[in-house]
């Protein structure tokens, strides 16, 4: 396909039709800075919904959210236009891994006015419907596409033989992108987050009506299983880069826990010790990864990390509730959940690191 810059230009000075512009760590980093701007607006909007403070589309938190998107669109879209002017084709005007980011920007741009119309026709969401509204799902999907671009470019660089290691060695934008994916997924599954409704585990259980016992059981099981699946599956997306820069797991576990707690602080303020425990368990996992040099070739290390990380977190989580508001969920349930999340993490590890590999063919 012809590009803008190929009109009236010396062909010898133009990039090849199959050539991509070079990527850079700086561009990846700035992409995540603008994506973080959008992320702040997302959680500000979530806090407003949690406090039932949304009754119009024109709110300060929507301003932060949509201005963050505008910054992302100008940053990535501007590079697309500049590179097309230089002679790159439409589909190869962005560095490798960023075409899906452009798709995400377009999807978000379509969903934004649709969200306005949706609110005008069907009213504003009040509870969990805010997480399941089609325009909101489109917005989040678009954001995930542009927010994970540095993760994709890091994969591509590794496949091309480039060595990436450490915060200063090119992995900082990738870890930021992984954190972006982690917190946006946690946001959209917050109905089953450990800090969404922990009160269910402290309400009268034995002797309570059957429906109340069932609600406590259902929420307790869902919060453990879904949050474990989100954490471990996203962590394993970065397996190619293990061991991650020290502090990465702490950021994923503690940082995401803090954002969800801050968003719902009016309801879960007393559960702040869970944040401290999330940081402790994240640091322990970081230390284990670096001390035992757990990488994609260390299958035993992968299995242990994926099973003990969620098990350790939920052990401390239940003990903190027991020491604070009180844990009325029966012992059979909460002790069993510690084993179950370990099994979930273990099973996920087998998906990316199978126990056996076919022997390589001799050259």
* DSSP state letters, 239-279: GGGPSPPTTHHHIIIIIHHHHHHHHTHHHHGGGTHHHHHHH
Based on DSSP, count helices (H) and strands (E) in the chain, helices before strands: 14, 0
Q: 165-186: buried (b, 16+ CB within 10 Å) or exposed (e) per residue?
A: eeeeebbbbbbbbbbbbbbbbb
Residues of the chain above pLDDT 70, percent:
93
| pLDDT tens digits, one per residue of 79-125 | 999 999 998 999 999 999 999 999 999 999 999 999 889 888 888 77
Mean pLDDT on 243-254: 97
Residue pLDDT, tens place only, 337-347: 999 999 999 99
27-48 average pLDDT score: 94
The 10s digit of each residue's pLDDT in 60-92 is: 888 999 999 999 999 999 999 999 999 899 999
46 prior amide bond cis, ω within 30: no
Which is nearest to 240 in space by CA: 149, 164, 308? 164
Half-sphere exposure of 226 (CA within 13 A, CB side): 18
Q: How confident is the model at residue 127 (pLDDT cuts 50, 70, 90)?
A: confident
CB 199 within 8 A of CB 314: no
Residue indicated by tokens 């009109």: 7
What pLDDT was estimated at residue 363?
37
What the block records as the tokens of 311 is 């098990």
Distance CA 133, CA 18 (A): 40
pLDDT at 49: 75
Q: Give residue 45's pLDDT.
A: 87
Q: Map out the domains of the chain as residue ranges.
A: 12-188, 194-350
Mean pLDDT score, 236-253: 95
Q: Which has the closest alpha carbon to 348: 243, 253, 229?
A: 229
Confidence at 247, pLDDT banded by 50, 70, 90: very high
pLDDT at residue 281, as a whole number:
98
Give per-residue pLDDT as tens, 258-269: 999 999 988 899
In the block, tokens 């370990």 appear at 342
Angle between helices 149-159 and 134-147 (to 10 degrees): 40
User: What is the model's pLDDT at position 362?
Assistant: 43
pLDDT in tens, 149-186: 999 999 999 888 888 889 998 999 999 999 999 999 99
| Average model confidence (pLDDT) across the chain | 90
Query: Can you give the pLDDT at residue 282?
Result: 98
């Amino acid at each position: 396909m012809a590009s803008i810059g190929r009109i009236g230009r010396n062909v010898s000075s133009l990039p090849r039709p199959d050539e991509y512009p070079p990527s850079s760590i700086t561009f990846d980093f700035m992409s995540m800075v603008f994506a973080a701007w959008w992320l702040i607006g997302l959680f500000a909007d979530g806090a407003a919904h949690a406090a039932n403070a949304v009754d119009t589309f024109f709110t300060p938190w929507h301003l932060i959210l949509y201005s963050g998107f505008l910054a992302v669109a100008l940053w990535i879209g501007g590079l697309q236009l500049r590179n097309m002017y230089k002679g790159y084709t439409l589909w190869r005007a962005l560095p490798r891994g960023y075409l899906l980011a452009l798709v995400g920007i377009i999807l978000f741009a379509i969903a934004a006015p649709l969200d306005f119309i949706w609110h005008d026709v069907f009213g504003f969401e009040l509870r969990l419907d805010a997480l399941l509204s089609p325009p909101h799902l489109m917005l989040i999907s678009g954001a995930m596409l542009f927010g994970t671009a540095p993760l994709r470019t890091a994969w591509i660089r590794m496949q091309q033989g480039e060595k990436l290691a450490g915060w200063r060695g090119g992995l900082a934008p990738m870890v930021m992108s992984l954190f972006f994916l982690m917190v946006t997924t946690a946001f959209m599954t917050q109905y089953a987050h450990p800090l969404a409704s922990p009160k269910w585990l402290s309400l009268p259980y034995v002797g309570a009506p059957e429906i109340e016992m069932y609600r406590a059981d259902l929420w307790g099981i869902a919060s453990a299983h879904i949050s474990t699946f989100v954490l471990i599956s996203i962590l394993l997306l970065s397996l190619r880069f293990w061991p991650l820069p020290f502090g990465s797991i702490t950021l994923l576990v503690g940082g995401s826990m803090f954002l969800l707690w801050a968003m719902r602080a009016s309801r879960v303020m007393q559960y702040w010790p869970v944040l401290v425990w999330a940081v402790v368990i994240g640091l322990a996992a970081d230390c284990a990864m670096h001390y035992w040099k757990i990488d994609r070739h260390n299958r035993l290390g992968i299995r242990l990390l994926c099973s003990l990380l969620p098990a350790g977190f939920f052990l401390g989580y239940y003990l903190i509730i027991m020491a604070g508001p009180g844990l009325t969920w029966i012992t059979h349930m909460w002790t069993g959940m510690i084993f179950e999340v370990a099994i979930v993490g273990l099973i996920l590890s087998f998906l990316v690191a199978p126990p056996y590999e076919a022997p390589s063919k001799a050259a």
